[in-house]
Structure 1
């Protein structure tokens, strides 16, 4: 409503101001372009008639035609001035009538007094007998000037009326602009008061309620006040609060259940770990007894048993030993990532040295040659990383080609997310179709008669690499043996510890049997 009133006042004031400005311009133009020049023209016309009267009376008095030159000049000035006044007063019919009246009287005056002298012969004087005619001519000229004086007064009155009209228009214009200004100021103040009362206070109240909810008072009901838009906004916020509150309740319930399940799972894992540890020891004891008594039976009664009986005893001992190995490997697999040393920053060279030390006998017996590059520093568990290298190198030693000494290389290169370690051998290799199967628990590609083992080694490697945040895979494009890549994140300190890793000049190609343990 306030804006509507302001708009009406401004529009009305603009119209009135425009009309007054137009009126002021018209009046100013009338004064400057017609009334003032016309007043000057009337004065010039009076002067021109006075020149004619003076010249004519001088001629009538003296008879000297030289006075007629003054008369002729006044006549030409009169004609020019009258023509200009007719143009200036073309839109002023009353004033133009005065001009016509004065011009008619001047024509009669000239016809009466000037026609004869202008047509007569030149003389040097006409004597005293011309005094009455001179007086009569002066009286006629005075009547014309009287008419022109009235015209001058009429022009002055018109000028005064125009100035009064101009002042009135200016006063109305100024009053209109002042009214517009006052109305806008009053409307602005009123708008501020209305905004503060109707909008800002309800908005501040809504803001306070929303902040209270955001501070944790989720049960606070938000009620809208003020204009309909704010009430609708408050209703929408209340609906949002109810939905968020419902989601929070549901989330709290889910979190409570997850915490309970996590606690139960942790307890179950602890019990399962204890059970696996105890069960592995309890299972190994009967197996050791079976193997021991079978061996005693073979030693004591071997001479009375036939070949088949000795073979049966050998089968029993081998089964017991394989069962022991399987139990130990399962226990090792289950403890990866749960029972471990303290995670710290270490050199991978240390883990590789320990693995080679553990495999020293196998390396010596197989005549293997180990090529190794300087390895970087990583953050991890020393025991598990040693187990990683021991399984990879152990597989390379185990699955070698017949009558061919193993050649194993351990290389390192930097990648975007850390370091890539590559272990390559010249063994029997792995077909590309088994690239994923070899990292699965108990997946064997050969019979136990060809190669011993439980099929857990590479599964342990994957579990160790996954635990350290890396990945491991088989290079299916390598066909001269087996090549396995794995990645490990760099040490948090950023110090690689192997600035020259990957430089062929640093390769150490010496038999592993001669490597000193860490």
Structure 2
């Protein structure tokens, strides 16, 4: 990482990353919620305990004490009536009261289990009741029925006093049970209020924590990311000088700094690329002008040389016909050299003219049947093919949008070379293939001639480059260079197959439709002037 990127330093909160802030927020939230949850659980438990005590203990205890009082009153009423009248009907309420007394006393003992004070109250009631029963109730109940009991009259005052003590003990017991119930109810109501406050506080704190977390995420993550996204969109829109301001936690600031570093580096690269593009445009313009001047020179030079060359060729041939054999042998040899040189010079100039026309003068692109065009080429080369005893075969060839004349020149040069560079002891055999390869067509021209060494695979496509002397193989050295120019003009490539043995194989590709050539309006002035020259 370059030193241009600034990373947050230090150990304070400003150096904390998003993960650390989130961990702190989650820890604090969980701590607060745990405390509130514990308090809420305690309040709920306390409310449940008080409610159970009130419902299951205090209220039933008071009710049972009242029932116990009713059972005791039944006993007193029955004994008092039996003592005054001697009627057996009064004994029944007494006996039922005794049974109910035992039941209610047992229930109270069970309900008040563990409450020492209230058990003491029950004991006091039972002691007072036992004293009244022993001194008054049982003796009277044991008297025979049918007549009033003298004992009832005799102990009336004592019985009343003893039963008043029972009443007083039961009244005290019931009052304290009633107070216990009221106190338990008040505690329950107070605890319920506390519970409501606690859960209300929990709800409010949850809302506050949610708001704090939301605001923290918005300020610490969402807003810095939105700002970073807005800056990135501004830069993507073309404003590469727009700076990115680091905001938010340490890791987001570090990310912003790294993106800003990339932006500055991109600005430098774009500036360098723009400078390179301007330099390349200038060099391209110079190269186009240079190429235009060279093509114009080649065209004009070859075009203007044809007329004096024709004169030289015509008069040397006329000199050879008229004075051949009249001069000495050396003179005849000189005249023959002049005629041969003039003829070769004329061939070279014509080839150079054809080479300069490729890509300079654009004929109308049209559908070209390469099968038919190859047959026309073979017809034009029929004399040379027949003299060499060559056999030319080919696969079915496609129809492409191309320059018909240039396609003829392409086949003429490739087939002509395959026939010309043959082995002396073997008749030439040439085969042409065509295969679809993606969006292109790949062609090959294979022969059984002398072949091309791998080290010369590139050199043979350079203009005027020859691998053999003029005496061994005739030619101007322009043929394969012209093929390369034609193929590239039609959007393809051409090369020598280095893996082929026993001869040479030239492979090239052509597009179904060649790229649109530049019109005269887009050519440099020198090139437009060449295009207007007569061919």
| TM-score over 0.5 (shorter chain) | yes
**1:25-424 map, 5 Å:** 25-53=48-76, 56-57=79-80, 74-113=97-136, 123-125=144-146, 127-132=148-153, 135=156, 136-137=158-159, 140-179=162-201, 181=203, 242-281=264-303, 295=317, 298-299=320-321, 300=323, 302-306=325-329, 310-311=332-333, 313-315=335-337, 317-326=339-348, 328-329=350-351, 332-333=354-355, 336-349=358-371, 351-363=373-385, 370-399=392-421, 408-424=430-446
Find the aligned partners of 2:500 and 2:275 in 1 and give their Cα distance: 53
Cα distance change on mapping 1:238 and 1:409 into 2, 3 Å: closer
Shift of 1:390: 1.6
- CA-to-partner distance for each residue in 1:281-306, whole Å, 9 max, x for gaps? 56667766766666556552544423
In structure 1, runs of 5+ residues without a counterpart are 493-518
What residue is the counterpart of 1:487 in the other structure?
509
Find the aligned partners of 1:457 and 1:490 in 2 and give their Cα distance: 24
What residue is the counterpart of 2:43 in the other structure?
20
Shift of 1:419: 2.6
- CA-to-partner distance for each residue in 1:234-293, whole Å, 9 max, x for gaps? 877766665554444433333322222222221111111112223445666776676666
Q: Is the 8 A contact 1:414 1:420 kept in 2?
A: yes
Find the aligned partners of 2:226 and 2:160 in 1 and give their Cα distance: 95
Q: Is the 8 A contact 1:345 1:491 kept in 2?
A: no
Q: Is the 8 A contact 2:390 2:429 kept in 1?
A: yes
Cα distance change on mapping 1:324 and 1:293 into 2, 3 Å: same
Q: Which moved more, 1:346-355 or 1:471-480?
A: 471-480
Q: Is the 8 A contact 1:380 1:468 kept in 2?
A: yes
Find the aligned partners of 1:178 and 1:114 in 2 and give their Cα distance: 61
Q: Which moved more, 1:221-230 or 1:482-491?
A: 221-230
Secondary structure at the counterpart of residue 274 of structure 2: helix
Shift of 1:469: 3.4
Q: Is the 8 A contact 1:57 1:134 kept in 2?
A: no
Cα distance change on mapping 1:66 and 1:330 into 2, 3 Å: farther
Q: Is the 8 A contact 1:342 1:381 kept in 2?
A: yes
Secondary structure at the counterpart of residue 363 of structure 2: coil
Q: Is the 8 A contact 1:95 1:151 kept in 2?
A: yes
Find the aligned partners of 1:231 and 1:431 in 2 and give their Cα distance: 64
Cα distance change on mapping 1:479 and 1:16 into 2, 3 Å: closer
Q: Choose from 429, 436, 439 the match for 2:457.
A: 436
TM-score by length of 2: 0.70
Find the aligned partners of 1:401 and 1:205 in 2 and give their Cα distance: 77
Aligned residues: 487
Q: Is the 8 A contact 1:53 1:138 kept in 2?
A: no
Cα distance change on mapping 1:31 and 1:345 into 2, 3 Å: farther
Shift of 1:154: 2.2
Find the aligned partners of 1:437 and 1:209 in 2 and give their Cα distance: 52
Find the aligned partners of 2:455 and 2:243 in 1 and give their Cα distance: 63
Q: Is the 8 A contact 1:465 1:472 kept in 2?
A: yes
TM-score by length of 1: 0.72
Secondary structure at the counterpart of residue 430 of structure 1: coil
What residue is the counterpart of 2:533 in the other structure?
none
**1:451-466 map, 5 Å:** 451-466=473-488
Q: Which moved more, 1:16-25 or 1:264-273?
A: 16-25
Q: Is the 8 A contact 1:61 1:125 kept in 2?
A: no
Cα distance change on mapping 1:383 and 1:149 into 2, 3 Å: farther
- CA-to-partner distance for each residue in 1:172-195, whole Å, 9 max, x for gaps? 333344445556667877999999
Cα distance change on mapping 1:272 and 1:478 into 2, 3 Å: closer
CA RMSD of aligned residues (A): 4.9
Q: Is the 8 A contact 1:61 1:130 kept in 2?
A: no
Find the aligned partners of 1:274 and 1:421 in 2 and give their Cα distance: 32
Shift of 1:49: 2.9
Cα distance change on mapping 1:110 and 1:274 into 2, 3 Å: same
In structure 2, runs of 5+ residues without a counterpart are 1-12, 14-24, 515-535
Shift of 1:371: 4.3
Shift of 1:319: 4.7
